[in-house]
Amino acid sequence: MPEGQALTGLLWIGLFTAAGLIVLFFLIFVLKQYKRCPSNRILVIYGQVGGQKAAKCMHGGGTFVIPLIQAHEFLSLEPLVIEIPLEGALSLNNIRVNVPSTFTVGISTDPVLMNNAAERLLMLKEDTIREQAQDIILGQLRLVIATLSIEEINKDREKFMTLVNENVAEEINKIGLELINVNIRDITDESGYIQAIGKRAAAEAINRAKVEVAQQDREGAIGEAEAVRQREVRVAEENAKAEEGRKQAERSQRLALAKFEADAITGEAESQRNHEIATADRTAETAIARKNAEQSQRVQTAKAESLARQGENTSSAEVAESDAKLAEVRAEAQRRSDVARAESARAILEKEREQELARLAKEIIAPEEIRKKQIEIAAEASAEKLRREAAGEADAILARYNAEAEGVRKVLEAKAEGYRRLVEACADNPQIAPTLLLIEQLPDLIREQVKAISNLKIDKITVWDGGRQTGGKGSTSDFLSGLIGSLPPMHELASQAGIELPGVLGQVKQGSGGAFSAKSAAAPVASASDA
């Protein structure tokens, strides 16, 4: 019993140990299947995740991954710096520009964009993701440049960057990326148009500065001339006042002296006369001195005004010259601007013309050429059909005519062979052959004569012979004689044809008027008479 109890105790200890090991293994397994997501990554669980989703994405936290049913991967949130060496992009006014730039993108933590990234970027290498994003950014950047002119790209950078951000962000969001930063390093063009715009802006700024400097120089010259003029006028006025005071003092002094002298010589006429003469002389001298002072004052005033006028004229001339130079500079700048604007408008019109011609060639000329080609092909096919049909008909007609000619040739050859044999058979009596040939044609001759009277309806022929005789001949004998009388013309016709009629038709004797001998025909006549 103690040994059995010991064994039982050992068994229970083994069971408890195995159960503990199983629980420990289960706990370790559960702990290993619990996945935590770091802050710089996205945990993507795929497999049976519930609902209609292909994957479940988490940023931060953790979750349990069911073994055999689910698996997991991580997506990095580290930014990707993509260099875009864009060259030769066509702008709205058909000028190719170079826009080298740097785009910084990364996988977004937005739930929708995380699912897009899980569907399209999971398990892809960083270089592959960079290439996909680079292709998308290049396409959208070219599209944005195609909607803007060079002036808009160069001046309104904010609008350009806004359009780039909107278009690029919208497209890369489709693969789960978000746009972090855009850095346009430079904008240049192959034709130097942007550089020309910069030079034009610099020239305009320089011209404005020159104009402002000239205006300030003009105002300074005018102010300086005004100050000089006012100074000279004030000096002349003060000099005139000083001279006037001095003359006034002299006059007062002279008047006082004259008064004293007049008082001294009041009682004496001579003294009075001398005094009067002296007074007159003094008065005349005073008047002359006053006139001289006024003349000198006027001369000094005129000189001051002349100098002031010369200063004003010089300043006006300088201002006019500066205005003329400024007008020339403005005219030259305006001319260059007009020329550049005209050349730009001409280039735009030429490109629009080429575009319109291309559109017309595509929409109108090309369909017309296609229809023309179709008509030509149909006409050629119809003509070829007619030619082949005509050739077939011609071959058929030629074959028929050849067959008919061959038949005629065979008939003629057969006739010639028959005539040759006939002539050979009649070698002893050559006159028989023409007679036989004429006899051969008699059915045709009779047939034609019958056709001439075929439409005449003759039931019977009755010959009345009243027994009257004229010269020993009756009516019947006259009829037969007339019939026989028609034979000599027949013999004459046969002789003209080189044919000799058979003897049964009688003969024509040569000599006394070509009398006809009807020896051979007597028997038929007699037979007819007997009848």
Of 138-147, 169-178, 265-274, which gets the smallest average pLDDT? 265-274
Buried b / exposed e across 199-226, counting CB within 10 Å, b at 16+? Answer: eeeeeeeeeeeebeebeeebeebbeebe
pTM of the shown model: 0.37
Query: Number of C-alpha atoms within 13 angstroms, CB side, residue 3?
Result: 0
**What are the backbone dihedrals phi and psi of residue 215, each rounded to the nearest 5 degrees, phi first?**
-65, -45
Tokens of 515: 């009398």
Cβ neighbors of 379 (< 8 A, separation 6 or more) are none
Residue whose tokens read 């005789």: 469
pLDDT in tens, 208-244: 777 778 778 778 878 887 888 788 888 878 887 888 8
State the Cα–Cα distance between residues 167 and 176, nearest whole angstrom.
Answer: 15
User: Measured between alpha carbons, how far is residue 97 from residues 93, 142, 181, 224, 518 in Å?
Assistant: 11, 10, 22, 53, 130
Of 150-154, 167-171, 277-281, 371-375, which gets the smallest average pLDDT? 277-281
State the Cα–Cα distance between residues 215 and 211, nearest whole angstrom.
Answer: 6
Evaluate if residue 300 carries a pLDDT over 60: yes
Contact 427, 433 (CB under 8 A): no
Contacts 24+ apart (CB under 8 A), 282-286: 282/254, 282/258, 286/251, 286/254
Tokens of 487: 């034979």
Query: Number of C-alpha atoms within 13 angstroms, CB side, residue 374?
Result: 6
DSSP one-letter string for 182-214: EEE---EETTSHHHHHHHHHHHHHHHHHHHHHH
The share of the chain scoring above pLDDT 90, in percent, equals 9
Q: How many residues does the chain have?
A: 531
State the Cα–Cα distance between residues 55 and 116, nearest whole angstrom.
Answer: 10
Q: Which of 478, 528, 484, 481 has the alpha carbon at shortest distance from 504? A: 484
**What are the backbone dihedrals phi and psi of residue 57, each rounded to the nearest 5 degrees, phi first?**
-110, 140
**What are the backbone dihedrals phi and psi of residue 364, each rounded to the nearest 5 degrees, phi first?**
-115, -55
Tokens of 400: 């028929």
Contact 501, 492 (CB under 8 A): no
Per the model's pLDDT, the better-predicted residue between 516 and 121 turns out to be: 121
Evaluate if residue 414 carries a pLDDT over 80: yes
State the Cα–Cα distance between residues 325 and 331, nearest whole angstrom.
Answer: 10
| Structural domain spans, the chain | 29-77, 80-191, 207-380
Evaluate if residue 523 carries a pLDDT over 50: no
Per the model's pLDDT, the better-predicted residue between 468 and 98 turns out to be: 98
Strand-pairing partners, residue 516, are 508
Count of other CB atoms within 10 angstroms of residue 20: 10
Q: CA 271, 273, 279 angle in degrees (round to 5)?
A: 95
Contact 114, 42 (CB under 8 A): yes
Pairing of strands 41-47, 70-76: antiparallel
User: Measured between alpha carbons, how far is residue 357 from residues 350, 353, 361, 455 in Å?
Assistant: 10, 6, 6, 85
Of 23-37, 112-126, 350-364, 386-400, which gets the smallest average pLDDT? 23-37
pLDDT in tens, 11-47: 788 888 888 888 877 777 767 778 888 888 898 888 8
Of 147-151, 166-170, 480-484, 522-526, which gets the smallest average pLDDT? 522-526
Residue whose tokens read 């009649």: 426
Evaluate if residue 315 carries a pLDDT over 70: no
Tokens of 212: 């402002």
Residue 362 carries which DSSP code?
Answer: I
3 state DSSP class of 469: coil
**Amino acid letter, 367:** P
Cα-only R_g, the chain: 73
Strand-pairing partners, residue 90, are 96
Contacts 24+ apart (CB under 8 A), 1-4: none
Residue whose tokens read 């030619």: 387
CATH of 80-191, one of 1.25.40.10, 3.30.479.30, 3.40.50.970, 3.40.50.720: 3.30.479.30
Contact 529, 480 (CB under 8 A): yes
pLDDT at 530: 37
Tokens of 350: 């030429």
